[in-house]
Amino acid sequence: MLNQERTFTPSEAAVVSGVPVKTVHREIDEGPLKPKRRRPGSKRTLREQDLFYLAVAKGLDTRLVQLTSEGKDKLHDAIIVYWRSRKPAKKELPLFGGRLLLDLKLVLEEVRSRLERLERARAMVVEDPEIRGGEPCIRGTRIGVYEVASMLEHGAAEEEILEGYSSLKREQLELAKIFAQAYPRKGRPPRHPWHQTPWREISRSETLR
């Protein structure tokens, strides 16, 4: 069961709900999401039911449903009621006088699955001052998580990366992408060693012994 007390940054919310981060900010700026702040001056954060709303809204066919600000508020309120009831048997929710029927159970399962993958990504990454000056690395290696995510983003094939980094598993590639999306690197990224060094040589030096 998800922890209702946990809050999420817009980037985390985007990964878990499956929407672009700019959509998350728009829903905050224009409503109906009302962000919380962990402490004065900190970044705004969202609750888990807000992520559920984002995932539901993403699945609406805009050719059939055009939500006004009032409609978004009603949808958000209905989702919160469903979320708090926690009745798995209640699969669908009628909205707007029964004109819209949503399979909320399916969306809830998707959000939970994405949240579990985010948690696995967080657990996979370690930030140790003794390892590359504290740069986020894949646990048990000296391989930077942003390096792997960048290679994938620039079109590197998974098989090629796995061949170059023999210590990595296929799941770790996907988790590296998720981590990089949820926690974007701050500042200008450094030049990666794989720009000039064969990956096979890097993989031998980057693996902890």
pLDDT in tens, 76-86: 888 888 777 75
Q: Can you spell out the DSSP letters for 100-162? A: EEEEHHHHHHHHHHHHHHHHHHHHHEE--TTTGGG--EETTB--BHHHHHHHHHTT--HHHHH
Contact yes or no for 55/24 (Cβ under 8 A): no
The three-point CA angle 59-184-43 to 5° equals: 80
pTM metric for this prediction: 0.78
**What single letter denotes the amino acid at residue 108?**
L
Judge contact between 25 and 63, C-beta under 8 A. no
Ranges of the chain with pLDDT below 70: 1-5, 37-42, 61-66, 86-102, 187-209
